[in-house]
Amino acid sequence: MSASGPLRVAMVSMHTSPTAVAGRGDAGGMNVATLSTAMELARRGATVDLLTRAVGPAQSRTIAPGVTLHEVEAGPIGPLPKDRLAEVVDEFGEAVAVLTGRSAARYDIIHAHYWLSGLAVLPVALELGIPLVESFHTVAALTNATLRAGQPGQPVEPVEPERRVMTEMFLAHQASAIVAGSAAEATALIDLARAPADKIWVVPPGVDLELFRPGLPPDDSGSRFRDALHIAPARPILAVVGRIQPLKDQELAIRALALLPDERPVLVIAGEPTPGEEKYRDRLSALADELGIGDDVRFVGALGRGEVAELFAAASLTVIPSRVETFGLVALESAASGTPVVAFHGSGLVESVADGTSGVLVRSREAEDWARVIARLLNDRHALAELSLTARHHAEAFSWAATATSLLGVYASLRR
């Protein structure tokens, strides 16, 4: 491997394609981050191959200059539940080895996203002597610890299996470098996954400041979104964006809405249930009806990137009640849109939300406290306008260009 010449990177996302719609299936912020970073690396002269498991016939296609998506066959055709993907890790890794072994596809860096990807391609990296960069995106031990902390005195079944916890600890030692999205994630990796501190680089994700921006003409974004959902022009919208699952705790947002005055906002929940959590989505709908606010809660499914930008443009506030986030990309996109955020004071949200600048961090998980904060912001138009302005300024400190530049520094250190 030469330390000179154009950089060639394999970005591996085995369990979900970087091109998948965020909020659908297992796709989320990781998909957005992987694709956005790849595009920025390519703009800087790198050649990036995105490797993912094919759910149909294997194929390759160029999605941007310098960025090619390779869908690799592994296991049966069609989607697999996440708890079965470990069964095809070896087959996926072998297919990647075949691709990587071709002289034209020789990589300088393999960057694995999520633990399954790291497990699949670690043997390839070791066999060919290629540095392996690992981005976990979520830390299993942190998720389990958060659940236990939320249920003091009660036994809690870990949501993440022991195999994943142990594999993340193994990968943390085997990888050449680890990229964390926040200091909170880095701390969790050191304390809970026993990751060597000298391997960890903190590289925050960015935000598309052109797509997510304030001041979009009402007839171009906000009113069109309102018209589609039959929401009156003067009625505030609260946006909740992300996959529907207990860890995201959309239930808290619904309970807070029910405590607001009768002329309450409309809560728009954008996202689909994570596979296996369909009953949770049904429980949320039933809860809204039970609380008498069924007409005030709108489930709109997963939205494309442009549609998410429209939602933020139409919303007065974005609510992020997640129990744990390694960073909180939604908070950054909302702030870039000039839409302040009300989020839980914990994990990576403390870094993606500037308390009092891009939104308000709530330290409790009591619906009454969330309702109080939301009502205060909605009732003070001047304060909300000021917060909208400073939210945009906060987001402008983050960009995918900065993320890519930092990653190039990580890669360069390993190539040396």
pLDDT in tens, the chain (416 residues): 445 578 999 999 999 999 998 888 888 889 999 999 999 999 999 999 999 999 988 899 999 999 999 999 999 988 888 888 999 999 999 999 988 876 556 899 999 999 999 999 999 999 999 999 999 999 999 988 887 665 544 444 567 889 999 999 999 999 999 999 999 999 999 999 999 999 999 999 999 999 999 875 544 555 677 888 889 888 999 999 999 999 999 999 999 999 998 789 999 999 999 888 899 999 999 999 999 999 999 999 999 999 999 999 999 999 999 998 988 999 999 999 999 999 999 889 999 999 999 999 999 999 999 999 999 999 999 999 999 999 999 999 999 999 999 999 999 999 86
Residue 384, SS3? helix
State how far the Cα of 42 lies from the Cα of 203, in Å rounded to an integer. Answer: 18
pLDDT at 319: 98
| pTM of the model as a whole | 0.91
* CB 266, CB 231: distance < 8 Å: yes
Name the CATH superfamily for 8-206+399-415: Glycogen Phosphorylase B; (3.40.50.2000)
Exposure class string for 183-220: b at 16+ Cβ within 10 A, else e: ebbbbbbbebbebeeebbbbbbbbbbbeebbbebeeee
Quote the CA–CA distance of 198 and 65 in Å, as a whole number.
34
pLDDT of residue 360: 97
What confidence score (pLDDT) does residue 415 get?
A: 82
Please name the residue ranges forming H helices in 176-296: 183-192, 222-229, 250-258, 278-290
Every domain of the chain with CATH number 3.40.50.2000 lies at 8-206+399-415, 218-395
Note the pLDDT of residue 170.
97
According to the model, what pLDDT value does residue 230 have? 87
Paired sense of beta strands 341-344 and 359-362, if any: parallel
For domain 218-395, give the CATH superfamily: Glycogen Phosphorylase B; (3.40.50.2000)
Decide: helix, strand or coil at residue 205. Answer: coil
Q: What's the rounded Cα separation, in Å, for the pair 385 and 390?
A: 9
pLDDT at 155: 44
**Non-local CB neighbours of 346 within 8 Å, separated by 6+ positions:** 146, 323, 324
pLDDT at 22: 84
From residue 269, alpha-carbon distances to 191, 272, 320 in Å are 34, 9, 11
The backbone region for 215, taken as left when phi is positive above 0, alpha when psi lies in -120 to 50, beta otherwise, is: left
Helix then strand then coil, in percent of the chain rounded to 5, is 45, 15, 35
